[in-house]
Amino acid sequence: MSAQRADRTNPANPKSPANPIDLSVFSAAVHSIAEEMGAALRRTALSPNIKERRDYSCAVFDGQGRVIAMGDHMPVHLGSMPMSVEAAIAAIDFAPGDMAILNDPFAGGTHLPDITLVLPVFLAGAARPAFYVANRAHHADVGGRFAGSMGPATSIFEEGIRIPPVLLVRGGEVDRGVLDLILSNVRTPRERKGDLDAQMGACRVGERRVLELAGKCGLEKMYALIEELLDYSERLVRAELRTMPAGEWSAEDWMDSDGVTDEPLRIRARLRVDKDAGPEAGALDVDFAGSSPQVAGSVNAVRAITLSACFYVLRCLLGDDAPATAGILRPLTLHTPQGSIVDARFPAAVAGGNVETSQRIVDVLLRALGAAIPERVPAASAGTMSNLAIGGADPRTGNGSGEAFTYYETTAGGMGARRGLDGISGVQTHMTNSLNTPIEALEYAYPFRVRRYAYRYGSGGEGQFRGGDGLVREIELLADAEMTLLADRRRFRPYGLAGGEDGAAGKTWLTRAESGERIELEGKCSVPLKKGDVLRLETPGGGGWGKAVDSDQ
C-alpha cells in the first residue's frame, strides 16, 4: 500500500504561479492558526496532562481533508490525524455548526486516550465545507480495565471506550446523549468534560481564524496558495532525497516484549531511495516486511502510527521553516504487512503501539538512514516514553470520601548523540514533544509526594560525542492506588552509532512501605500500590556517537 497523491483539482483554482512572498505569508498565517488553537486548548483545559504537559495537537485542513498546517505539537498525533479527518469526512455528511468526535485506532486514530475533534468550516452560502480544523488531545482516562487506560491489555475492548466518527455537536448544540455516553464510561467524568469543552473551544478559535483569513485572501487566491504550498512541501522533500545516494538500506531493532510473553519483537525496515530524472524524481520506498506479527499485548501499532513515524522522519530531513503539509508524504510509498505490529488488525490492543512501538519504528528508520547519510543521523535516543499511569481515590477530596483521580505522564530520557554534538539529557524525543508535569502541579493535583527528580548521571552512551542522560523520578503514594507501567528499552538498549556505546537500559523499582522490600518491576505491568509505597523510575540514556578518544594518547 502507498501514500497516494490526492486529487489536486479544484474548480475555483486557476493554478497560477504563487508569488513567493504571498506563499510565505500564507504559510505563516495558517501555521499561526494551528498554534493559536493549541494555545487556547492549553489555557482552558482542566487536566494537568493537557494544561501542563501539553499532550495535544492541532491542525488545519483544506476542503479535501488535506493537511495544510500543523502546530508545533506532538509528532505522533500530527502525522496520523489526517487519517482521522478522512474517516470523519467519509462517515458524516457535515452541516454548518456540526463537530465530530472520534478516537477509533482503526479509523485513523492512534490509541483510545487520544480523542480527536473535527470541525468543518463553511463559507457563507456554501453547501460543502471549504476547510476543516481539528485537534487531538490525550485524555488521562477513557475507561477500560486499567486506571489511565494504558495498561497491559490484550484486546481493544479492555482499553476503554471506542468512539467511531460521530457528531458531538449538531447545528451548534452539544448532543447530550453522545456526551453522556462517553462520560458514563470513564473514571473521571468531570475532568473529561472539562478537556472536551477546551477542545471544542479550540476548534471554534480555528474556525474563526480560517474564516478571517479567507475573507482577507479571497477564496480563489487562497485555493491557489494551498496548492502551491502542498507542491512546495513536496519539492522540498524530493530535493532533499536527491541529495542522498541512490540505493537500498535495511535496519532492524527489537521491542523487549508485548507484556504478555517474554518474546522479543522485531521491527525491520528497508528503505530505497530513487533519484531518476523528471518532476517525480526523489522518491522514498519504505517496506516493513519482516516485522513481527501482531501480538496479544498492547504494543501493536496501527498503520496510521507507522505512517506518522515516516512523516516525522521525512520532516526531520527538512529545515525548521519547512511547512508541514500533506505534500511531505507525496514522495513516499509505504508497505506495511497487514496483521503485523506495524499494521495491526482489529481487535488488537494498541495503547502501547502509539507510545512505544512508534518510537522503535523511528529508531529503525533512522538506523537505516544512518547507512546512507551517517553524518546527519543521530544515535538512538531513549526509545521509550516510559508511560506511567496511577489511579485511585484522592482522600483530600469529596469531603474525605475521596473522588476518583487518574494520573498519566510520559517521562523524558536521553537524546542520542550525533556528529559534532553530545545528546541532550532529560528531554522528550522523536514521536513525543510533551513537557513534564511540574512537581508543584503534580503534588497539588494528586495524592503524591515527589521524593526525587534528577538526571540519571552516567546513563548516556560513551563515545566521541556522548549520549544524553536519562532521568530518575521517585514518587511516594499518599493513598492506595493502582499503577500501570508501559515502558521499553529494558533489554535492548538505545544503540550507539559510528563506534559509540549504547545508552543504559531503563529500570523501575518499587519499595513497599510496610516491609521495606525493594522490587524491580517489569517494563509492562500493573501493580496495586499502598499508601507510603515509593516508585522509582529510571529512564534510558541516549546512545553515543563515534569511538571515544583516549585522553592518554
The DSSP-derived string for 291-348 is PPBP-SSS----HHHHHHHHHHHHHHTS-TT---SGGGGTTEEEE--TTBTTBPPTT-
pLDDT at 10: 41
Residue 52, Cβ neighbours under 10 Å: how many? 20
Residue 357 is classified by DSSP as I
pLDDT digits 0-9 by tens, 500-520: 999 999 999 999 999 999 999
The crossing angle, in degrees rounded to 10, of helices 189-217 and 176-183 is 140
Q: Contact 343/336 with Cβ under 8 angstroms?
A: yes
Q: What are 154's three cell numbers?
A: 490484550
- Write down which residue in 208, 233, 258 finishes a domain: 233
Give Cα 44 distance to the centre of its chain.
21
Q: CA 318, 379, 297 angle in degrees (round to 5)? A: 95
Q: How confident is the model at residue 6 (pLDDT cuts 50, 70, 90)?
A: very low
Residue 130: other Cβ atoms inside 10 A: 18
pLDDT tens, residue by residue, 243-268: 999 999 999 999 999 999 999 999 99
Query: What is the share, in percent, of the chain residues with pLDDT greater than 70?
Result: 95
Average pLDDT over residues 166-191: 97
In a domain, 324, yes or no: no
Residue 166 inside a domain? The answer is yes
How large is the average pLDDT for residues 438-453?
Answer: 96
Give 9-59 pLDDT, tens digit per residue.
343 344 445 688 899 999 999 999 999 999 999 999 999 999 999 889 999
Q: How confident is the model over 419-439, as pLDDT tens digits?
A: 999 999 999 999 988 889 999
**Structure-derived torsion over alpha carbons of residues 362, 152, 488, 289, reported in degrees to the nearest 10:** -40
Residue 2's pLDDT is what? 38
CB 331 within 8 A of CB 235: no
- The answer to whether residue 474 sits within a structural domain is yes
Residues 323, 69: contact at Cβ < 8 Å? yes
Q: What is the DSSP letter of 3?
A: -
359 domain-assigned: no
> What 3-state class would DSSP assign to 408?
strand
Output the pLDDT for position 20.
Answer: 87
Predicted pLDDT at 11: 36
Residue with the bigger pLDDT between 434 and 7: it is 434
503 phi-psi bin (left φ>0, alpha ψ -120 to 50, beta other): beta
Q: Which of 202, 233, 264 is the last residue of a domain?
A: 233
Q: What are the phi and psi torsion angles at 293 (to 5°)?
A: -65, 160
6 part of a folded domain: no
Strand residues in 41-143 grouped as ranges (E):
56-62, 67-70, 99-102, 114-121, 131-138
Return the pLDDT at 15. Answer: 47
What pLDDT sits at residue 9? 38
Tell me, what DSSP letter sits at residue 413?
A: B
Task: Give the mean pLDDT of 185-197.
Answer: 97
* Alpha carbon distance 328, 122 (integer Å): 26
Q: What is the mean pLDDT of residues 162-179?
A: 97
Nearest to 120 by CA among 108, 107, 134: 134
Which range marks the domain in which residue 482 is found?
378-553
Using the 3D structure, point to which of 168, 202, 233 is the last residue of a domain: 233
> How many C-beta neighbours within 10 Å does residue 301 have?
35
- Is the pLDDT at 329 greater than 70? The verdict is yes
Type of residue at 534: V
Cell of residue 355, nine digits: 507510545
Residue 248 lies in a domain: no
With CA atoms as reference, report the closest residue to 108 among 129, 89, 131: 89
Which of residues 499 and 279 earns the better pLDDT score? 499
Say yes or no to pLDDT of 185 above 80: yes
Is 174 inside any structural domain? yes
Look at residue 197 and tell me if it is in a domain.
Answer: yes
- Of 4-13, 261-270, 334-343, 364-373, the range with the lowest mean pLDDT is 4-13
Confidence label for 550 from pLDDT (cuts 50, 70 and 90): low
**pLDDT band, residue 399 (cuts 50/70/90):** confident
Average pLDDT, the chain: 92
Predicted local confidence at residue 435, as pLDDT: 86
The tens digit of pLDDT for each residue in 68-94 reads 999 887 777 777 889 999 999 999 999
Q: What does the pLDDT read at residue 14? A: 41
| Prior bond of 20 cis (ω within 30°) | no
pLDDT at residue number 553: 46
Q: Which amino acid is at 448?
A: F
Model confidence pLDDT, tens digit, residues 120-170: 999 988 899 999 999 999 999 999 999 999 989 999 999 999 999 999 999
Provide the domain count of the chain.
2
